[in-house]
Amino acid sequence: MEKFLLFTTGGGTSDPLNWDSSEAALYNVKNLESVKPSSARNIDLTFNTSNGKEVVVLKIKNGLHNKIISSIATAIGTGINSVVVVADVDGGRYINSNICGVTIRSQETYIQTLTGNSRTKIDVTRSNYSSCLIANIDGTDAVACTLELYDGSTYTKLIDQMSIPAKNTLKLEDDEISFDDVTYDLYATSGDSGGQLTFTFNY
């Protein structure tokens, strides 16, 4: 028997005549790629679908990741229902009472441009992006890029003054850009005060 995971965000209750794909979703369990904490109060469920990667974010009570992940795993593994209601905000039904809310994201891209050479915080809200593109949009000069993690007292380099030629792009894969966003913030520095680097983070 195939199983499906159901999510709603509450948007159907507030505007029942105008539901969209960001407010309700039903996923086949076979498309579930991972279930993992993304912050102190969030769990990400990642699905690979025919429309690309989609992520459902469960907002939870602080630190109760294991209980909620265990509830989902038990329902998938031993439950008798073909539709597993993980979080139906509209209907007030939850697989675990410690779930507080739902966000459904079909894809997400974050873009930020550095226009000077001072150390700048990259305002990503997540740490589990599938890739990061660093584009040198300067027309003539190579620009050196430094990426660092900051824990509130110490900067730790991920990339140290890597030169990116003019009109070229450096791509970092997920295992090269992943970090603990609870502990660290991401900072970037351009080696050229006149050069411009554009950062694009994708799921």
**DSSP H or E stretch at residue 72:** helix 65-78
- What digits encode the pLDDT tens for the residues 23-67? 899 999 999 999 999 888 999 999 988 777 788 999 999 889 999
Tokens of residue 2, six digits: 């195939």
- For the chain, give me the number of helices (H) and strands (E)? 3, 16
Query: Under CATH, which architecture does the 109-202 domain have?
Result: Sandwich (2.60)
Q: What angle do CA 78, 84, 88 make, to 5 degrees?
A: 145
- The ranges assigned to domains in the chain are 4-105, 109-202
Q: What is the pLDDT of residues 64-97, one digit of tens each?
A: 999 999 999 999 998 888 999 999 999 999 999 9
Provide the whole-model pTM: 0.60
